[in-house]
Structure 1
Amino acid sequence: MPELDWQKSTRSAEAANCVEIAATPTTVLVRDSKVLPGPHLAFPPSVWADFLSHAAKPSR
């Protein structure tokens, strides 16, 4: 299995309190940046896209 390319949000700057994602063709993985070897969540790309779409909507 190839090494995953974990990415932090550009809004995180140098903060240690954030989540990181790694995308494969079939899965988007999410982990806590403070617990790198720890557990992670896995989502199908379509579910992750729905989440991002919802998160980008302004709150009222």
Structure 2
Amino acid sequence: MSNVEFRKSSYSGGSNNCVEVAETPALHAIRDSKTQERGPLTFDRNEWRAFLNEVKRGRL
């Protein structure tokens, strides 16, 4: 994941608790902008879609 470009997630809103996201053809990755050294969590497309659906529903 070292060659992908992370961007601030639109779900982070205006707070300082930023989540950054990156996409590749096979995976989606998220990381905490304040602790980038911990590395990202990665999800395949189906897992990512399920995660976003739960966020949109306010369950996460």
**How much is the aligned-residue C-alpha RMSD, in angstroms?**
2.4
Which of 22-31 and 33-42 deviates more? Answer: 33-42
Equivalent pairs counted in the alignment come to 58
Corresponding residue for residue 21 of structure 1: 21
Aligned-partner SS, 2:52: helix
Structure with the higher helix share, 1 or 2 = 2
Spell out, residue by residue over 1:6-52, the C-alpha distance to the aligned partner (whole angstroms, 9 max, x if none): 1212343362x221110101011111110123222111011101111
Aligned sequence identity (%): 33
Unaligned runs of 5+ in 2: none
- For normalisation by structure 2, the TM-score amounts to 0.72
- For normalisation by structure 1, the TM-score amounts to 0.72
CA pair 55-34 structure 1, distance change in 2 beyond 3 A: same
